[in-house]
Amino acid sequence: DAMVIQNPRYQVTQFGKPVTLSCSQTLNHNVMYWYQQKSSQAPKLLFHYYDKDFNNEADTPDNFQSRRPNTSFCFLDIRSPGLGDAAMYLCATSPPPGLADYEQYFGPGTRLTVT
Amino acid sequence: KNQVEQSPQSLIILEGKNCTLQCNYTVSPFSNLRWYKQDTGRGPVSLTIMTFSENTKSNGRYTATLDADTKQSSLHITASQLSDSASYICVVTAFNDYKLSFGAGTTVTVRA
């Protein structure tokens, strides 16, 4: 089945120690997104790629970076995780917006714990 | 500013009972409205999608309605099951926009 895969599902890192989260997709979608979701809150968009074009949200901290080496894969790098970065990180993919039934397909998420 | 408001914030229902969740939005120009179910510790999963011209959409025991004139939607859960315990999120998309407008979600707890 076509899907969005995130690895690992659970990640524990130490304060200040760089960490990378991975997302892959078999949907061949142009657009990939990274969201941060804290407990009982709506997902917050961090950035997205439209093909190789990177689009950063204005309020995304510099501590968060992303790489998209090819259509299928996208990575979220947190350079120096703080305790406030502990959250669920969701990857999503979509075709280009514009269709009436435009949809983002979400992965299962990676739960990040910072100790 | 595009906004999505959901009510109630949370509710508890007994297994087998029905419930209705509400969503009001101010997203413009409207493209579609989607209800997602998010289990604890999991990513959101789409239940229904409705475009401007649709006013009812069903997916099993889930029925969503849309009133595009009043900018309101509801999600009705029929004959609830324990597995329905989750957060239900209303998400609205503006036309030709990549960004989704999320509601804060309604947490539903189904008790035996």
Q: Distance (Å, rounded) from C-alpha B35 to C-alpha B65?
A: 10
> Which residues from chain A sit within 8 angstroms of residue B31, using beta carbons?
100, 102
Q: What is the pLDDT of residue A75?
A: 97
Cα nearest neighbour of A5 on chain B = B43
Handedness of CA A27, A29, A32, A38 (dihedral sign): negative
The alpha-carbon gap from A109 to the nearest alpha carbon of chain B, in Å, equals 5
Q: What percent of chain A has pLDDT over 90?
A: 87
Other C-beta atoms closer than 10 Å to the C-beta of A113 total: 13
What Rg do the C-alpha atoms of chain B give, in angstroms?
Answer: 13
Amino acid at residue number B90: C
- Residue A65 is predicted with a pLDDT of 96
Would you state the structure tokens that stand for residue A17, as one six-digit string? Answer: 């120690």
Q: Which chain A residues are closer than 8 Å to B93 by Cβ? A: 97, 102
Distance from A15 to chain B by nearest Cα, in Å? 22
Positions of E strands within chain A? 4-7, 10-13, 19-25, 31-37, 44-50, 53-56, 64-67, 73-78, 87-94, 105-106, 110-114
Do B43 and A108 lie within an 8 Å CB cutoff? yes
Asked whether the beta carbons of residue A50 and residue B98 sit closer than 8 angstroms, the reply is yes
Rg (CA), chain A: 14
- Type of residue numbered B17: K
Q: Which residue out of A38, A51, A104, A105 would a mutagenesis test of the B interface target, given it has the greatest number of B Cβ atoms within 10 Å? A: A104
Q: Which of A88, A103, A7 is nearest to A40 (CA)?
A: A88
Per-10-residue mean pLDDT, chain A, length 115 = 88 96 95 93 93 93 96 96 96 86 90 96
| Chain B positions in Cβ-Cβ contact with residue A4 (cut-off 8 Å) | 43
Pick the closest to residue A33 from A47, A51, A52 (CA basis): A47
For residue B96, the model assigns a pLDDT of 82
Contact B43, A89 (CB under 8 A): no
Q: So what's the pLDDT on residue B41?
A: 86
A32, A23 Cβ separation under 8 angstroms: yes
Report how far residue A12's alpha carbon sits from residue A51's, in angstroms, rounded to the nearest whole number.
30
Residue A19 pLDDT: 97
* Option in A40, A45, A98 nearest B96 (CB): A98
Calculate how close chain B gets to A66, using CA atoms only, in Å.
Answer: 18
Q: Give the residue ranges of chain B where pLDDT is below 70.
A: none
* Angle in degrees, CA A107, A108, A111, rounded to 5: 120
- Confidence (pLDDT) at A1: 63
pLDDT of residue A2: 62
Using DSSP bridges, classify how beta strands A87-94 and A31-37 pair: parallel, antiparallel or unpaired: antiparallel
pLDDT at position A96, please? 86
Q: What distance in Å separates the CA atoms of residue A112 and residue A11, rounded to the nearest whole number? A: 5
